[in-house]
Structure 1
Amino acid sequence: MTTLPHSNQLRFGRYSQSGQIYLLTAITRDREPAFGRFETGRLVVDAFRKAQQEQFAHSLAWVVMPDHFHWLIELQGIGLSKLMARTKSRTTVTFNRLMQRQGSLWQEGFHDRAIRKEEDLQAVARYIVANPLRAGLVEKIGDYSLWDAVWV
């Protein structure tokens, strides 16, 4: 299994605080472009919405790229590791069923960054949703359908 260098160390020192805003990133195993199609990318979006319905996270902005996602959230009533485990599990089960495959979909671990109070949340959100532009997937963000932000 391929993992990020030191991805197992991403867990050490992780602190989850309800009400804190975090930028979360998860990458598919072996950078598989599992979400290159709208249909499969929506599986991740559905997992984000389920987390919000369960009041585990309030989604502020997100983008689903072919081989990873960025998710800006306000954490609510659950730890980061549990939130990400649920999100990854949901997407893996539905993706495997849809694609008639088995096995893991995601690399172990995830990256999180607590957003400081003085940071401009809208600037962070713009950076997130501009990911498809920087990756050269589209020329205008409006041409990419797997993103959202509460400020739009």
Structure 2
Amino acid sequence: MTAIYHGSRLRQGRFSEQGRIYHVTTVTKGRYPYFSDSQLASLVCRTLLWSDLSGATTTLCYALMPDHLHWLFQLGEGQALPGVMLRVKGRSGRLCGATLWQRGYHDHAVRKEENIREIARYIVANPLRAGLVRSLKDYPYWNAVWL
């Protein structure tokens, strides 16, 4: 039986909104812990900075876990969420020399009534909840604008 990818169906009828804040989660291919390697993790973190410098995004926070990324950002002017994700995943994969990411991603458009700082706290606390560290100061692959 051939596996059929249905992720694109989830995107049908959806649109991305410039200036909107999104919480995106994307996982590595086969949930392989590529980012246990500090060099690969650093390249992905630099790719998020590159996205910001290009004007595609304004990162509010992120936590890069060994096998996935949580990223809270504001979508830049003239940008579409699928294009941003394609460029970030493609560039990070090329820099790392591997097909890192599974196809697709989960996105949540943050609503006005939601507390952005609570979402950010949830994101940056991921290494703690996963038991990777006892203190965030010991985990190098996260950042937040509120520091």
Please give the alpha-carbon distance, in whole angstroms, between the structure 1 residues aligned to 2:33 and 2:10. Answer: 23
Q: Is the 8 A contact 1:24 1:110 kept in 2?
A: yes
Shift of residue 7, structure 1, vs aligned partner: 3.4
With structure 1 as the length reference, what TM-score do the two structures score?
A: 0.88
Structure 1: which 5+ residue stretches go unaligned? 97-101
The equivalences for 1:78-93 within 5 A come to 78-93=79-94
* Superposition deviation, residue 6 in structure 1: 5.1
The answer for the alignment partner of 2:112 in structure 1 is 117
RMSD: 1.6
Secondary structure at the aligned position of 2:35 is classed as coil
CA–CA distance in structure 1, aligned partners of residues 8 and 15 of structure 2: 15
Match of 2:20 in 1: 20
State the 1:39 CA deviation: 1.7
Alignment partner of 1:139 out of 121, 124, 134: 134
Scaled by the length of structure 2, the TM-score of the pair is 0.91
Q: Partner of 2:36 in structure 1?
A: 36
Q: How many residues align?
A: 143
State the percentage of identical aligned residues: 43
Is residue 148 from structure 1 mapped to residue 107 from structure 2 by the alignment?
Answer: no
Q: Which structure 2 residue ranges, 5 or more long, are not aligned? A: none
| 1:116-135 C-alpha deviation (Å, 9 max, x unpaired) | 11111111100000000111
